[in-house]
Amino acid sequence: MQKMINLKINGISVSVPEGSTILDAARQANIEIPTLCYLKNVNKEGSCRMCVVEATGARGLVAACVYPVAEGMEVRTNTEKCRQSRKLTLELILSKHKQKCLSCERSRNCELQRLSLGYNVDEDKFKGEDFVLPLDDSSPYIVRDNDKCINCMRCVVACNNQGIGAIGPIERGFQVHVGSAFDRPLAESPCVGCGQCVVDCPVGALSEKSEVSKVWDALSDPTKQVIFFTAPSIRATLGEAFDMPVGTDVEGKMVAAIRRLNPDYVFNMDVTADLTIMEEATELIKRIKTHKPLPMFTSCCPAWIKFVEQTYPEMIPNLSTCKSPQQMFGALLKSYWAEKNGIDPANLFVVSVIPCTAKKYECSREEMIEDVDVALTTRELARMIKTAGIRFTDLPDEEFDNPFATATGAGAIFGATGGVMEAALRTAAKMLDGDFKVIEFPDVRGTSPIKEATYSVAGITINVAVASGLNNARTIIEQIKSGEKKYDFIEIMSCPGGCVNGGGQPTLSDSIRNSVELKEARAKALYKNDSNNDLRRSADSPVIDVIYNDYFEFPNSHKAHKILHTSYKANKII
C-alpha cells in the first residue's frame, strides 16, 4: 500500500502519495500555482521559477513543480515574497520578448500574456540590449520566431520525447536561444513536422505555416471550385477552439461553419479513410499470403513516413504503398470526381482540414504535389470561422454534401491510436472470412504507447502491434531488426495518442492541459461516433461500392495503384 503524506497548503489539509510534488498537492487542494516551463507528461524541471512557493523546511523559495512534499510540511503559495519573485521573473522574460501581441497567433491564448496581466507586469521595466534573431520559415509546415521564445525548453523536451532531437539550446546567458544544430534552418534538420513542439509552446514562438490567405483567395476566385473535406479527428477537437468541453463531437456545427465560408462542397474525409482501408487490407492479405515483405507498416502519418525515410530507409519496403486518406481524397477528386462531372482538375481548389502540421509537408511531396492544394490545421480553420464572424456554438447541425457524405465508423476511429489497425482488421477479417462476426478489437484500443495482439482468421494467424509517438516506433523497429519481435502488421502514429493529439490541434491553456486527459477525452468522442454508426466496416460502405463499381473496379487494381498509391525515397540523416 502506497504511503500517504499529510501537509497543509494555504491552511488547507492535503494527503497525497509519497513522491508527489508541491504542485501535485496544490492541484489536489484546488489551488493553481502559476507555471511556464512545466507541462504535465512533457516537462518538469523547475527552470522558469514561476511556480516558486514558501515551504517549511526549505531554504528560501522552492519550485513547486519539482520540490517533493514532506510529512507535516506547510506551504504558502501567494505570499508577498512569492508574488514579487514571480513578477520579477515575468519582467525579465518580457525584457527580451517581442511585443507583437496584436498579431500573434497566441494572442488572448498565451500563458505569458495571462500571467503578465494577473501580476500587473510593466513590459518596459527592464530594457536589455536588442537581441534580434531571424524568423525561421524554411520548412513547409512550422515557423519559429525566436524573438517570442521565453526559453522554457518545452519544445526541446517535446522533440526529445519523440526521439528526434531536431532542436536544442544554443549559446549561453542572454544569448541563449533554441535552434537546430549549428543554427541551421529547421528545414535542414531531422525535424519530421509532427508539431508537438507547437502545441507544447506556451507562447507564440512556434506556429504552423499558415495558408489561410490562399484559401480566402480561392474562395474569392470565380474560376475556382473550392472543396473542403475534414479529417476524422477534427469533429472531436474543433469545439475546443470555441470554449466547448474537451471531447465534444461538433461534426454538425463544423460542417455548418465551413459551409458559411461559402465553398462549393463540404465532404467527409472518413470516406477516403474507408477507401484507404480497402486498399490497405487488400495489400496486407497479399503480403501475408506471399510472406513478403513483412511486417507491413501503415502509411497514413506523413511524419512517420519522413521518419522512416530519414532514419530507417531500409524499412521503406515494409511501408504500405497506400496514400493517406488526405492524399487519396485529393487524388479522387481530381480524377474520378472531375471526370464524372466534366470539370477541369486545374479549376478545382482542394482544401483538407487536418489535425497535423506534417500534412502540410505531405501536400508538398513531389510524388503527390497535385493532390491537395492546401492543408489547414484545426487552428487555422477556427481562425477563419472567427474572422468570418460565424457564431460557432449557435449553429445548427448540418450534414456533409453528397456523394461523399456517408462513411463507416471505421473511418471515424482513424483519429485515435489503434483506430487504423482496428478498421483494417474489421475489413481484412471479412475479406478472409465472410462470416467473421467480430467488429470491435479492444486489444488495440487505448493510449498505451505500445499495444500488441494476435488474431486468428480463416486459419491465418496475424500478429499486430500499435505504437504512437516516434520514440515508441523506434523501439518497435529495433525489436524487429534484432529478431526479438515478429509482427505481420503494425500501425504507427507519430503523435502520442494519435491524430486527436496532433500538432495542428487547438492550443489549450496549461490549466486545461494539466488537468484533463486530452487524448482519452477526444478519442472517446470518435469511438462513440463509431458505435452509433450503422455501418462499422469499410467493406460495408455503399459509397465505397459506388467508387469501385464506377471507377477503380476492385481494390489494388491497376487504376487504383496509379491513383491511390505512392512511393517513398531514402533521405538518410547523418
The answer on pLDDT for 72 being more than 90 is yes
State yes or no: is 74 an active-site residue: no
pLDDT for residue 572 is more than 80: no
List 111, 362, 380, 491, catalytic entry = 362
Residue 54 class from Cβ within 10 Å (0-12 exposed, 13-18 middle, 19+ buried)? middle
Q: What pLDDT, in 10s, does the model give residues 345-379?
A: 999 999 999 999 999 999 999 999 999 999 999 99
Average pLDDT of span 369-390: 98
For residue 158, pLDDT beyond 60 = yes
Q: Where does the pLDDT of residue 475 fall: very low under 50, low under 70, confident under 90, or very high at 90 and above?
A: very high
Q: How far apart are CA 278 and CA 431, in angstroms?
A: 10
Residue 131 pLDDT grade (very low, low, confident, very high; cuts 50, 70, 90): low
280 is an active site residue = yes
- The pLDDT score that the predictor gives to residue 303 is 98
Angle between helices 80-94 and 111-118 (to 10 degrees): 130
Which CATH code of 3.30.2130.10, 3.40.50.970, 3.40.50.300, 3.30.70.20 fits the domain covering 128-208? 3.30.70.20
User: What average pLDDT does this structure show over 52-68?
Assistant: 96
Q: Would you say residue 541 has pLDDT above 70?
A: yes
Cα–Cα distances in angstroms (integers) from residue 245 to residues 239, 338, 358, 364, in the given order: 7, 39, 26, 34
In terms of DSSP H, where are the helices of 388-460? 409-412, 419-432
370 flagged as catalytic: no
Annotation marks residue 283 as catalytic: yes
From-to residues of CATH 3.40.50.1780 in the chain = 213-564
Region of 342 please: left (phi>0), alpha (psi -120 to 50) or beta: left
Q: What percent of the chain has pLDDT over 70?
A: 99
pLDDT-derived band at 100, boundaries 50, 70, 90: confident
Which range is least confidently modeled, 5-9, 99-103, 345-349, 492-496?
99-103
Instruction: Give the integer Cα–Cα distance in Å for 298 and 284.
Output: 10
Q: Residue 474 — pLDDT band, cuts 50, 70, 90? A: very high
Q: Which one of 283, 380, 422, 491 is the catalytic residue?
A: 283
State in Å, rounded, how far the first CA of the chain is from the last one: 48
Which CATH class name applies to 4-92? alpha beta
Residue 211 phi, psi (nearest 5):
-120, 20
| Residue limits of CATH 3.10.20.740 in the chain | 4-92
Is the confidence at residue 574, as pLDDT, over 60? no
Active site residue 359: yes
pLDDT (mean) for 291-317: 96
Q: pLDDT digit string (tens) for 420-455?
A: 999 999 999 999 998 888 999 999 999 999 999 999
Cα separation of 503 and 192, whole Å? 11
Q: The C-alpha cell of 169 is what?
A: 539550446
Name the active-site residue from 359, 360, 430, 519.
359
Q: Where in the chain is the domain with CATH 3.30.70.20?
A: 128-208
pLDDT average, residue stretch 512-516? 94
Backbone angles phi, psi at 12, to 5 degrees: -95, 125
- On whether the CB atoms of residues 318 and 294 are closer than 8 A, the answer is yes
- What is the C-alpha to C-alpha distance for residues 429 and 437, in angstroms, rounded to an integer? 9
Check if 82 is active-site: no
Gap between the Cα atoms of 68 and 157, Å rounded? 22
Average pLDDT over residues 180-191: 95
In whole angstroms, give the CA distance from residue 405 to residue 170: 50
What pLDDT does 566 receive? 98
Q: How far apart are CA 183 and CA 169, in angstroms?
A: 10
Kindly report, residue by residue over 215-242, the tens digit of the pLDDT. Answer: 999 999 999 999 999 999 999 999 999 9
The total number of residues shown for the chain amounts to 574
User: Which top CATH class is 213-564?
Assistant: alpha beta
Which residues fall within 8 angstroms of residue 505, CB to CB, at 6 or more apart? 199, 233, 237, 240, 355, 377, 378, 379
Asked if the model's pLDDT at residue 128 lies above 70, the reply is no
On average, the pLDDT of the chain sits at 95
Distance (Å) of CA 265 to CA 215, 350, 354, 387? 14, 10, 17, 20
- CA–CA separation, 31 and 259 (whole Å): 43
Grid cell at residue 377 = 490545421
The catalytic residue among 116, 180, 299, 320 is: 320
- Catalytic residue from among 208, 280, 422, 491: 280
Catalytic member of 101, 149, 197, 300 = 300
DSSP-assigned beta bridge partners for residue 374 = 351
